Amino acid sequence: MGFLTGKLKGYELEDDLLKLFGKEEPKKPKSKLDPEFRAKYEHHHLVQMARMGAKYEATKRIRTRRLKSEPDGFYLNDGGRGYTCGICRRSHDGEDIWWRPDGLRCRDCWRNIQEGVIPVLDLDREWWEEEHFDKFDIEDRGVNTSSIKKLRREGDLVGRDLKDLSGHIYWTVYLVSENEEFLKKYPKKSGL
């Protein structure tokens, strides 16, 4: 029989472990800014705004490049939270938001578009108001929310109901082209 002897050596720092395996981390370039100056202005609101703007611009460019392989758009799947659908205005996580350059759509709204319930809507606010409106725009015309069902029953107002996977109506979109008489009868109130 034999026996084994040896020593144990511990490493705490990451640099020591990298040296042990023969790999050295590339050295970060030293900042040319004075450390005092950096500490003073690093958390200034204008610096934070510039940082957020740069992050937004980088995200936008990455998504625009991705459109080359997926021209109809794509689900974000970025782990982000709190995205708002441009059609139904509900908040969703990134995996439930379909991204196109003209706006965000939730999974249910995108499915309704694909099924032909509503056309692809350009979510630019000016164009939206020219071609589409919703219950909030009807209220701006002095129509009480409780009267909307009655107007639809009587045929004075034509809406396109958006349904979720279980078949429940979660939002209604009204097309200007289908409701010209209603819009003439109920003009928008001034000051709203």
Regions in the chain scoring below 70 on pLDDT: 1, 23-28, 31, 121-129, 190-192
Determine contact, residues 88/171, Cβ cutoff 8 Å: yes
pLDDT of residue 10: 78
Q: How far apart are CA 31 and CA 19, in angstroms?
A: 25
pLDDT of residue 110: 92
pLDDT of residue 5: 79
pLDDT of residue 172: 92
